[in-house]
Amino acid sequence: MNALPALIRSEATLLSRNPTAIFMALLFPTALLLLQGLVIPGTDEVLGGDDPAFAQLRAIDLFIPIALTVALGSVTLTNFPSAIGGYREKGVLRRLATTPVGPQRVLIAQVILSGVSLVLGAAIAVVAAVMLLDAQAPRSVFLVIGVFALAAVQMLCLGSLIAARASTAQNANGIGMVIFFVCLFTAGVWTPGPLMAEPLRQISGYTPLGAASQSLTAAWYGQPMSLIPIAVMVIWTVPLLFIAIRTFRWR
Amino acid sequence: MPAIRIQNLRKTFGKHVAVGDVDLNVAQGEIFGILGPNGAGKTTTVECLTGMIRPDRGEIRVLGLDPATDLSALRHTVGYQLQSSELPNEMRVGEALQLFAAFYPNPADIDELLETVGLRAHRKKAFSSLSGGQKQRLSIALALVGNPRIAVLDELTTGLDPQGRRDVWELIENVRETGVTIVLVTHFLDEAEALCDRLAIIDHGHTIAEGTPSELIEASGLPSNERRPSLEDAYLAIIHNNELLRAA
Ligand SMILES: Nc1ncnc2c1ncn2[C@@H]1O[C@H](COP(=O)(O)OP(=O)(O)OP(=O)(O)O)[C@@H](O)[C@H]1O
Ligand SMILES: [Mg+2]
């Protein structure tokens, strides 16, 4: 039985026929960054300030990890759950429920495929930002990839929980959006880098996207990596996926 | 061992009693028909026996398996065609069969199956561009792709053209030849008469008759002087008698 590879192949084929989904998965982070860098004024001025870790950077440099974080959130919390919500709404999941395939494979196939497309999308964005906007390349590429992949898996597991329960695509989108905006706040999208107050920063470090954003920023600028956000991400991942599989609704 | 044995099945949705008390006995290798008016509880009954929903009460055995505890074995044993279901719009006929075949250890040959359900020429067609009858054929093929020992088909020929219905009848008989037990829910009495070895009539959530077509005609109590009553006559009489009984 090759159910998991078959599901992944099938979903990949469907994705290849859906231009909107391809855009969201592969080009959304790039579009976000280019918009920020090319259209919004003042993003290439040096920040200055007291914090030596950030003083030499321009806003656009800070914005790269943020853009990746936004892409992480939007793909995993809205696109992916609403795809499964749509399957539930249409009765596709009910059809699958009559087979021996089980919810874990359906979810894991989606998690893997979305994870791969997210990493690809992030890579395209980083290359574009470095080449077109002259942004600062990451200090340690491998560390960044590792952190990003972990963050992607973790956020997909959180998305799985919405995917497991939402009755329709719209319903999934609604729930996803609410969580997405909370996550954006804890990820410091409106208060990048040193701008977030320290107590808030510490609390945010325990939330899924906050932990992702903090480790990604640290990895990017070669700052000392704290193990706490990494551990936070690992700890979020497994139980979320487990709960999603256990509470999965076929209809 | 019987293929299916259901005793005292009951399923409610909130206050609404969808199935009050259903008994069914299906022998192995049989084509068994379930008849009954809209809303009688036919789909609810087959959803319980395929493990799609949990009954409130009653005993179900499918080739000795209890859907409540042996769900995974049941999924390998039973192919279920839902009364209504969809696939992703962009998924093609051949892709759908390939995907579903991958869920089973000994799947059917996909080319053969496409041939039998008359979809060979439409292999590359996207689901959203299929006609209603073509979707129905695909749905039947998906229920059979795992080489199940029991196939449960809910309204299998609804939406098919006359030729398509005959094709599907032939398909069902061929499948039965291979030893598969078939349970079909239908509103077409000619279909039931042509295909089924035995039948049950469900009305208001209760089994009100079970037997071969001629046993049901007998049980209807209709006189057979000038013209032998058809199964349809018998069905309508049995439903009518049940209404009178309920009113009393
Ligand atoms: N999920 C559900 N929630 C609430 N009520 C339901 C649900 N499923 C079925 N019912 C109700 O249970 C009753 C039996 O439904 P069921 O689908 O079993 O009928 P059926 O015999 O298959 O009818 P049809 O010939 O129209 O397909 C109906 O009154 C229906 O409205
Ligand atoms: Mg029905």
Q: Using a CB–CB cutoff of 8 Å, tell me whether A20 touches chain B.
A: no
- Whole-angstrom CA distances from B88 to A84, A139, B129 are 11, 43, 11
pLDDT digits (tens, 9 = 90+) for B224-245: 777 888 899 999 999 999 999 9
| ipTM of this predicted structure | 0.90
Per the structure, the count of domains in chain A is 1
- Return d(Cα A68, Cα A90) in angstroms, integer: 32
- Extract the tokens encoding A241: 């996926």
Tell me if B76 and A100 make a contact (CB, 8 A cut-off): yes
Per-residue pLDDT of chain B (248 residues; tens, 9 = 90+): 899 999 999 999 999 999 999 999 999 999 999 999 999 999 999 999 999 999 999 999 999 999 999 999 999 999 999 877 789 999 999 999 999 999 999 999 999 999 888 899 999 999 999 988 889 889 999 999 999 999 999 988 888 889 888 888 988 998 899 899 999 999 999 999 999 999 999 999 999 999 999 999 988 888 877 788 889 999 999 999 999 998 88
User: Would you list the domain boundaries of chain B?
Assistant: 4-84+149-247
The answer to whether position A251 is within a domain reads: no
Nearest CA to ligand 1 atom 22: B43
Tell me if B80 and A5 make a contact (CB, 8 A cut-off): no
| Domain residue limits at A55 | 3-246
CATH class of B4-84+149-247: alpha beta
- Choose which residue among B12, B44, B156, B189 to substitute to test ligand 1 binding: the one with the highest number of ligand atoms within 8 A of its C-beta: B44
Given A98, A100, A101, which is nearest B82 (Cβ)? Answer: A98
Tell me if A3 and B91 make a contact (CB, 8 A cut-off): no
Torsion of CA A148, A151, A157, A158, to 10 degrees: -130
- Extract the tokens encoding A96: 């699958």
Among candidates B240, B214, B181, B202, which has minimal Cα distance to B23? B202
Give the HSE-up count for residue A80: Cα atoms under 13 Å, Cβ half-sphere. 34
Name the residue type at position B147: N
- Return d(Cα A207, Cα A202) in angstroms, integer: 10
Is residue B215 classed as helix, strand or coil in its secondary structure? helix
pLDDT digits (tens, 9 = 90+) for B56-87: 999 999 999 999 999 999 999 999 998 777 89
Among candidates B179, B178, B182, which has minimal Cα distance to B191? B182
Q: How far, in Å, is the centroid of ligand 2 from the Cα of B56? A: 19
Per-residue pLDDT of chain A (251 residues; tens, 9 = 90+): 589 999 999 999 998 998 887 887 788 888 888 887 777 666 666 666 666 666 677 777 777 888 888 888 888 998 889 989 999 999 999 999 999 998 888 888 988 888 888 888 888 988 888 888 888 888 888 889 899 999 999 999 999 999 999 999 999 999 999 999 998 888 887 776 667 788 888 888 888 888 998 898 888 888 888 888 899 999 888 888 899 989 999 88
- In this prediction, residue A53 carries a pLDDT of 62
